[in-house]
């Protein structure tokens, strides 16, 4: 089994070496592709001779266009994921890779922790313990899965096609929700953290109003907002909150009573 890992990068991130090393720990299981501006290709190829470095699409087309370009370059892979040039895969990501063997037609995910610019822990992101809850969570605008700890199967990609490049912030949300609506199977490999999402000054997630607007557009596009909240919807949210109680308590202890989106916008 081979996993294609795509990293869009401008080549200037001070954390890129750490990102590359975090993927390299899985050896030949993961094929790491960097998608970068043409002007950086030669430099990055020298810097990372074991990696494939491909040109990004036309400047200004966005991160999801770069990811699609990386997918177009890959051939021999069973699943794919993408990781920002400041984020990390953790050793337990191996459980997500192994989970794909048991779910070769859908997506497999695990927990994601938040880290600061210096790598310090800032808490974790709540995720859905049971994929059967996901559709009802999306219908309430609750994100049950996060891309950083997720592998998408080749079957899912062939069924779903590329990511929607009209999104700037929430193309991953739209892609995962679209797969859920399409009935493709999701599997939770572990609630424990398998990847790390770095919060740092200047990142796109700080623009909370625009992120929220894109998230709303993604949900509306798929007709996911519930017109009527049923008992099953309430049950799904209750289970989600119960399983993530340690995550909420840790966030309150570290940051006070703050919502996850506000924490992203605030950073450290």
Residue 76: which CATH number? 3.90.550.10
Domain that holds residue 29: 1-86
Same domain? For 210 and 120 the reply is yes
Global pTM reads 0.93
Average pLDDT over residues 87-93: 98
pLDDT in tens, 106-125: 999 999 999 998 999 999 99
Lowest mean pLDDT among 39-53, 166-180, 196-210: 196-210
- Number of structural domains found in the chain: 2
Same domain? For 78 and 107 the reply is no
Same domain? For 108 and 48 the reply is no
Same domain? For 128 and 211 the reply is yes
How many residues are listed for the chain in this entry? Answer: 268
Task: Indicate whether 33 pLDDT > 70.
Answer: yes
Same domain? For 82 and 96 the reply is no
Q: Which of 71, 86, 101 is the last residue of a domain?
A: 86
Residues 58-74 as b/e (b if ≥16 CB within 10 A, e otherwise) read eeeebbbbbbbbbbeeb
Q: Quick one: pLDDT band at residue 68, thresholds 50, 70, 90? A: very high
Same domain? For 14 and 61 the reply is yes
The answer to whether 123 touches 255, Cβ cutoff 8 Å, is: yes
Same domain? For 104 and 35 the reply is no
Same domain? For 220 and 139 the reply is yes
Q: How big is the CA angle at 169 (ends 161 and 36), to the nearest 5 degrees? A: 70
Give percent helix, percent strand, percent coil of the chain, each to the nearest 5: 45, 20, 35
Same domain? For 113 and 47 the reply is no
Residues 6+ apart with CB under 8 A from 159: 182, 184
Same domain? For 122 and 31 the reply is no
Same domain? For 165 and 221 the reply is yes
């Amino acid at each position: 089994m081979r996993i294609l890992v795509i990293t869009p990068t401008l080549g200037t991130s001070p954390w890129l070496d750490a990102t590359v090393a975090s993927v390299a720990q899985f050896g030949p299981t993961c094929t790491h592709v960097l998608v970068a501006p043409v002007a950086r290709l030669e430099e990055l190829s020298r810097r990372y001779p074991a990696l494939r470095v491909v040109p990004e699409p036309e400047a200004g087309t966005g991160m999801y266009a770069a990811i699609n370009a990386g997918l177009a370059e890959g051939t021999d892979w069973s699943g794919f994921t993408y990781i920002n040039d400041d984020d990390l895969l953790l050793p337990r990501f191996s459980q997500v890779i192994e989970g794909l063997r048991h779910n070769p037609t859908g997506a497999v995910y695990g927990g994601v922790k938040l880290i600061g610019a210096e790598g310090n822990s800032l808490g974790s992101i709540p995720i859905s313990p049971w994929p059967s809850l996901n559709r009802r969570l999306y219908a309430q605008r609750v994100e049950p899965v996060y891309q950083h700890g997720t592998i998408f199967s080749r079957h899912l990609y062939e069924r779903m096609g590329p990511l929607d490049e009209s999104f700037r912030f929430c193309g991953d949300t739209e892609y995962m929700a679209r797969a859920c609506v399409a009935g493709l199977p999701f599997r939770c490999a572990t609630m424990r953290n398998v990847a790390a999402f770095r919060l740092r000054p200047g990142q796109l997630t700080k623009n909370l109003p625009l992120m929220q607007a894109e998230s709303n557009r993604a949900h509306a596009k798929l007709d996911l907002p519930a017109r009527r909240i049923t008992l099953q919807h309430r049950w799904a949210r209750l289970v989600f909150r119960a399983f993530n109680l340690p995550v909420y308590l840790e966030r309150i202890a570290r940051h006070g009573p703050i919502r996850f989106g506000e924490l992203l916008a605030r950073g450290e």
